[in-house]
């Protein structure tokens, strides 16, 4: 139990969608814990050596970091915690430089200001916080040349401090800039990958010629649609559509013309069967299918029946057809109420039987079977 609590305390909450925010969350958590532990230790060390002013500053740092960790763990407000931490410890180190100067080379602790400012915030905020801090720190350091005795503070030491701190700020800025660029590039790459994966997925579930869903997707999708129909308490209307005398059409006009005719029929089906719960498929060759959910299967049947006239109205010439001078279709339909539990195979078989009734009775019309509830 204790180890679990410690793990929760030292590890960040993973509730950020983007990588950059999560990285900031990890670093903020780590820095706050490091400050909490170090200020706790230095508080007692400074009490021991009778540095009561420094000890009180350590205590203040401990309280601030403890409050920031509490906010981070309970409210997960990264922006608020980052701002509180940055402002508080910038003021903390300004006070430290003012009160302690370079005693025991204490000025070296000021390197934590730009680190905290850049890591916990954007590079813009990090730069401005660092600039503000160092303007004050440089001023204090310059006017105390020859005054800060401990650490032998000279003009040369000031220049070394000046250039070292500027190099540090520059390196931190460029580091954050490089992370920003790499995150942007990585985001672009991921977006392209997702688009490519989606493209591959679409290719795997659609027919390349007609752009209708394919038989594979029909088999995969139908169980979900049957479950959806039961939840919505709607009937399923399933139809199989077959192009009449299509082999004769291909033999007479050629396969290129046949492909064009299939595309035209598919476009007609897509335009006509287009409600939210309507789905259309190409099962192979000249055979198409469709699934529709509705509260009124009778009206849905009438809607499907209109496909016969719509396809004939395309006026695609078919001189080799015994049915019509134009290309026509035959349709077999089955309506299943949500109370019934027919399998995909059973629905397909019933619709196929209705289709053959049409084929045996002159083609170019629709036959329907209604399963009773």
With beta carbons less than 8 A apart as the criterion, state whether 362 and 340 touch: no
CATH of the domain spanning 213-370, picked from 3.40.50.620, 3.30.70.270, 3.40.50.720, 3.40.605.10 = 3.30.70.270
188, 193, 286, 345: the active-site residue:
286
| Residues 124, 30: Cα–Cα separation, whole Å | 22
For the segment 279-298, the average pLDDT, to the nearest whole number, is 92
Flag whether pLDDT at 357 surpasses 90: yes
pLDDT given at position 8: 53
For the segment 24-41, the average pLDDT, to the nearest whole number, is 84
pLDDT given at position 102: 82
pLDDT given at position 69: 85
* Torsion 39-40-46-49 (CA) sign: negative
Flag whether pLDDT at 172 surpasses 60: yes
Measured in residues, the chain has a length of 373
Flag whether pLDDT at 16 surpasses 80: no
- State yes or no: is 286 an active-site residue: yes
What are the domain boundaries of the chain?
A: 2-188, 213-370
With beta carbons less than 8 A apart as the criterion, state whether 305 and 321 touch: no
Record the tokens describing residue 240, joined without a space: 């199989």
pTM, whole model, 2 decimals?
Answer: 0.56
Residue carrying structure tokens 């409050």: 67
Radius of gyration of the chain (CA): 38
pLDDT given at position 272: 93
| pLDDT interval class at 342 (50, 70, 90) | confident
pLDDT given at position 15: 55
pLDDT tens, residue by residue, 73-99? 887 778 888 888 888 889 888 888 888
**Region of poorest pLDDT, from 17-21, 112-116, 235-239, 364-368:** 17-21
Q: Which residues pair with 214 in a beta bridge?
A: 282
């Amino acid at each position: 139990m204790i180890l679990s609590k410690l793990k929760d305390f030292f590890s960040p909450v993973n509730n950020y969608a983007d990588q950059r925010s999560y990285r900031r969350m990890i670093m903020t958590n780590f820095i706050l814990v490091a400050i909490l532990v170090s200020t706790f230790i230095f508080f007692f060390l400074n009490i021991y050596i009778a540095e009561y002013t420094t000890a009180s500053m350590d205590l203040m740092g401990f309280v601030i970091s403890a409050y920031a960790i509490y906010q981070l763990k309970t409210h997960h407000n990264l922006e608020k915690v980052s701002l509180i931490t940055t402002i508080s410890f910038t003021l903390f180190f300004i006070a430290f430089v003012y009160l302690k100067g370079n005693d025991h080379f204490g000025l070296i602790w000021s390197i934590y200001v730009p680190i905290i400012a850049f890591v916990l915030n954007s590079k813009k905020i990090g730069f401005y916080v660092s600039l503000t801090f160092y303007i004050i720190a440089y001023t204090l350091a310059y006017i105390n040349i020859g005054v800060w005795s401990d650490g032998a503070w000279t003009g040369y030491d000031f220049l070394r401090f000046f250039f070292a701190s500027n190099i540090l700020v520059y390196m931190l800025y460029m580091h954050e800039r490089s992370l920003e660029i790499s995150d942007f590039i990585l985001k672009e790459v991921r977006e392209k990958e997702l688009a490519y994966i989606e493209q591959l997925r679409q290719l795997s579930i659609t027919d390349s010629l007609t752009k209708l869903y394919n038989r594979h997707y029909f088999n995969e999708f139908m169980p979900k649609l049957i479950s959806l129909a039961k939840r919505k308490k709607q009937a399923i209307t399933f139809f199989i559509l077959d192009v009449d005398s299509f082999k004769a059409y291909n033999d007479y006009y050629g396969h290129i013309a046949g492909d064009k005719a299939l595309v035209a029929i598919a476009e007609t089906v897509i335009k006509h069967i287009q409600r939210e719960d309507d789905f259309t498929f190409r099962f192979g060759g000249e055979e198409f299918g469709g699934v529709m959910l509705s509260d009124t299967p009778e009206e849905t049947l009438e809607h499907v029946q209109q496909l016969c006239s719509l396809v004939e109205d395309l006026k695609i010439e078919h001189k080799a057809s015994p049915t019509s001078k134009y290309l026509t279709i035959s349709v077999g339909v089955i309506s299943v109420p949500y109370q019934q539990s027919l399998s995909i195979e059973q629905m397909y078989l019933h619709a196929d039987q209705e289709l053959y009734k049409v084929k045996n009775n002159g083609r170019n019309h629709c036959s329907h079977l209604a399963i009773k509830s």
